[in-house]
Amino acid sequence: MKIVMCVKETPSTTAEKRFGADMRLERRKEDAIINPFDEYSIEEGLRQQEKHGGETIVLSMGPATATDTIRKALAMGADRGVLVSDPALAGSDAVATARVLAAALQKIGFDLVLFGSAAADAYGGIVPSAVAEFLGLPLLSFATKLDEDGTTAKIERQAEVGYNTVETQTPALVSVMKSINEPRYPSMKGIMQSKKKTIDTMSLADLGIESGTVGAGASGEKALSAEKITTQRKGEIYMGNDGAAERVVAFLVEQKVL
């Protein structure tokens, strides 16, 4: 079985976000990490491989330096990496990204493609379904459990009450939730071996994609402004002996705590 895990390099969740004049997030190499949501899809891919054998491939679209991020996924245990990198890709929105990933996936070949449910930079969450659309294949989204037997993939998806079971034929795409597993730490041996694993780089020409169909110019999604969200916590303090306890009780009743 051939399993491809799609990963994105994102800024560390604790890094200060800065935006350029074009409202694009400035990405600094030293803040780059694997999108935390993708750690769950990498882990799930490795677990499926441990069960069924086959090959695990990490696919990413990003700047040339994103090989470092792919390398981290290889240290967790994936077999090899593919990076799609091309200057013309800068500024691609979710749909343009999906177009590129779909083309790369077709070139690589797969039985199962795994995604995190979103990326921790923009939280769009559109890419998995858009890739499925480009490929004309089913997406089992928001999986909290995945069973795969070589011909069918079956997931559980959290519902308001209980969960839904969704099943489809493979090849298929699956996006996973954080509750699906607990991602492993890269082992020391894994880290030492990661350097010996191959990471192939593909350009737009390699994928047969016209540069005019991707990148900032071809993207319908535009960021117009960005501002810091400030949350203000409002506390109410009831002072003194005069009725404070009653007001606390009334508040708790109002909140349906009592």
Residues in 14-73 at the binding interface with another protein, rule: CB under 8 A: 68, 71-72
Our CB check for another protein shows the closer of 181 and 194 to be: 194
Our CB check for another protein shows the closer of 32 and 114 to be: 32
Among 23, 192, 253, 258, binds another protein (CB under 8 A): 192
Q: Which stretch binds another protein (CB under 8 A): 127-135, 170-178, 192-200, 212-220?
A: 192-200
Our CB check for another protein shows the closer of 14 and 241 to be: 14
Q: Is 59 exposed, middle or buried (0-12, 13-18, 19+ CB in 10 A)?
A: buried
The footprint of another protein on this chain (CB under 8 A) covers a number of residues equal to 14
**Token code pair at residue 98:** 């999906």
Does 126 bind another protein (CB under 8 A)? Our answer is: no
With the C-alpha atoms ordered 147, 153, 159, 162, is the resulting torsion angle positive or negative? negative
Q: How far is the CB of 39 from another protein (least distance, A)?
A: 11
Q: Residue 108's Cα: distance from chain center in Å?
A: 19
Among 195, 233, 234, 256, binds another protein (CB under 8 A): 195
- DSSP character string of 115-165: EESS-TTT----HHHHHHHHHT--EEEEEEEEEE-SSEEEEEEE-SSSEEE
